[in-house]
Structure 1
Amino acid sequence: MEWREEGVVLGVRRHGETSVIAELMTRSRGRHLGLVRGGRSKAMRPVLQPGNSVMAHWRARLDEHMGAFALEPVASRAGGLMESTVGLHGVQLAASHLRLLAERDPHPRLYDGLIVLIENLNADRLTAGELMLRFELAVLEELGFGLDLARCAASGTKEDLVYVSPKSGRAVSREPGEPYHDKLLALPAFLTDTDRAADGETLRTGFTLTRYFLSRHVYEPRGLDEPHSRTSFISAACASG
């Protein structure tokens, strides 16, 4: 069994004296592990950094085996990502989110979103923050817990959507939601209005929204803690000034 496809390095762990087990995200084969012989060499260590893209040639005797990777560099981003707090914690957080997915399940939408995200982590902190927030919404959707922010759950209107129901994950407009505002989650305007720009405050509101649903549907049922990289990324992306 073998295949060849481009992938993004999510992480590595040591295996024996000279090898590593690499974790890649690929478009058609999902999150995939494989042994890289000689992965701890001086030549391979710069290649096997989180955020880099590689061309992977995977081989195994049987499809269910972990198999081995032969990797060639395609795009080196890790050096630039490590130069900023947003970039460093952003690539770690993206990897943590992708580890919530079952291994080898294809998620092409998330792969495409990952490429856009990591190529913009150092562009602008607010842009990076918004892309990460939308990436979290996409992860929730791929896991089966997507939010419906298109129209009000009570009236059906697409206007003045300012709340989200914590029970249904559906948007609620201002008027029908006002009597229950203390029980509803805030919905930042930039998520439903492309003419509205995100700022530090509205980004924090958005991350509070995704935190609720990640905790309720993913972290708590699996006995997981929110990754430290998420707190660090949000602090850096939403910082004032």
Structure 2
Amino acid sequence: MEGLQRCFVLHSRPYSETSLLVDLFSEKEGRLTVIAKGARAKRSRVKGALQPFIPLLGKWSGRGSLPILTHAEALSLGLPLFGPILYSGLYLNEVLARVLAPHTSYPELFLDYLNALRELAQANNPEPALRRFELALLEHLGYGVDFLHCAGSGEPVSDTMTYLYREQLGFIASLKPSQWSFTGHQLKALASREFTDRDQLQAAKRFTRLALKPYLGSKPLKSRELFLPQRRSGPS
């Protein structure tokens, strides 16, 4: 069928008595919201497919701000995300829904998202997959950072040196550690997106939160709040 696109549901909510408003992330059009007419009806053929983490082939029509979903079929079963891993997947969806401009194509980011979900589905620790995706997202948003060279001298970063991060400039050698500073060892991990120890993961999380903050704004992420009951109920 012509016009079909690979896509994922990011979020959906009721619309009228039997329909849904569905936020999609599609391979060719990026983020968009469509009306899925009759999707809440008992006999709806698409009701089961319009769930997060199910790879879909979809089609929609209409020139207005809310196209009509005309076709949706699951390409496979949903990727198995449970517990904290599920919350991590919801976090990815919420970030995409919040930072991506509508109807803007990000085909490479779509593949990064698909790979992140696959990695999460097989992971015991979701942190490496989340950090890799956040770094890929920042790159696709045009947030280019040179992790391997000092912005002041142009020299390659040294594992044992400390570097201060300055927005829109890069990393500059510094003798005063702060929330904006990173070691050369940590910066090399950020550049390769490979994290071999907890220190590198914590540094990556610190950097991506700093870098994503202007895009996400001050409103708390609902998906992050889901982790709080888990933490409270865990061992102290």
Give the TM-score range, shorter chain: 0.7 to 0.9
Aligned to 1:149: 147
Counterpart CA distance in 1 for 2:149 and 2:57 is 42
Aligned to 1:118: 117
Matched ranges for 1:1-241 at <5 A = 3-41=3-41, 43-60=45-62, 63-69=63-69, 70-78=71-79, 80-81=80-81, 83-86=82-85, 88-99=86-97, 100-126=99-125, 128-160=126-158, 163-168=163-168, 170-172=170-172, 176-177=173-174, 179-182=175-178, 184-186=180-182, 188=186, 189-193=188-192, 197-215=195-213, 217-220=214-217, 224-230=218-224
Root-mean-square deviation over aligned CA pairs: 2.9
- Shift of the alpha carbon at 1:114? 0.3
What TM-score do the two structures reach when normalised by structure 2? 0.80
Runs of 4 or more, structure 1, over 6 Å off, are: 233-236
Counterpart CA distance in 2 for 1:110 and 1:132 is 14
Q: Given residue 223 of structure 2, which amino acid in structure 1 is its aligned partner?
A: S
CA deviations over 1:71-97 (Å, ceiling 9, x no partner): 11112225x21x2312x1122111112
Counterpart CA distance in 2 for 1:41 and 1:204 is 46
- Shift of the alpha carbon at 1:151? 1.8
CA deviations over 1:193-220 (Å, ceiling 9, x no partner): 57x64334432221111111222x2234
Gaps of 5+ in 2: none
What TM-score do the two structures reach when normalised by structure 1? 0.78
Paired residues, what number? 222
Counterpart CA distance in 2 for 1:155 and 1:231 is 41
Q: CA 1:164 to 1:5, structure 2 compared with 1: closer, same or farther past 3 Å?
A: farther
Counterpart CA distance in 2 for 1:47 and 1:6 is 13
Counterpart CA distance in 2 for 1:26 and 1:192 is 27
Gaps of 5+ in 1: none
